[in-house]
Amino acid sequence: MSEKSYKKITSKIAETGSGKPRALLAYYFSILEVMKEFSTSVFCPIVIDSPNQQDKEKANLDKMLDFIIEKNQKVHN
């Protein structure tokens, strides 16, 4: 993904196929990390409806789930 795709907070992620859920996951967690660092707001639980969209290969799904766990702990600690 090019930097131009996500440089602005109002960017539209143009990735397609099985790469799109991974790109969106990374994009949204990056926004949450910035909010956590620069805000005094209380965080609500993060709800992820279906990380296994587009029938991910098991290795990619495992990486996504590990990423979610790691980033979720970082945002909520």
Q: 7 lies in a domain? A: no
Q: 31 lies in a domain? A: yes
Q: 36 lies in a domain? A: yes
Q: 62 lies in a domain? A: yes
- In the structure encoding, which two tokens stand for residue 15, read together? 């990735």
Q: 9 lies in a domain? A: no
Kindly report the pTM of this predicted structure. 0.69
Q: Does 54 or 26 have the greater pLDDT score?
A: 26
Report yes or no: 56 and 64 within 8 Å, Cβ to Cβ: yes
Q: What value does the mean pLDDT take over residues 10-15? A: 73
Q: What value does the mean pLDDT take over residues 18-29? A: 82
Of 13-17, 27-31, 40-44, where does mean pLDDT reach its minimum?
13-17
Count of structural domains within the chain: 1
Q: 65 lies in a domain? A: yes
pLDDT (tens digit per residue) in 46-72: 788 777 766 668 888 888 889 988 888
- CA 24 vs. chain centroid, Å, equals 5
Q: What value does the mean pLDDT take over residues 14-24? A: 78
**Side-chain half-sphere of 12: how many Cα atoms within 13 Å?**
2
Q: Which domain holds residue 29?
A: 15-43+50-76
Q: 1 lies in a domain? A: no
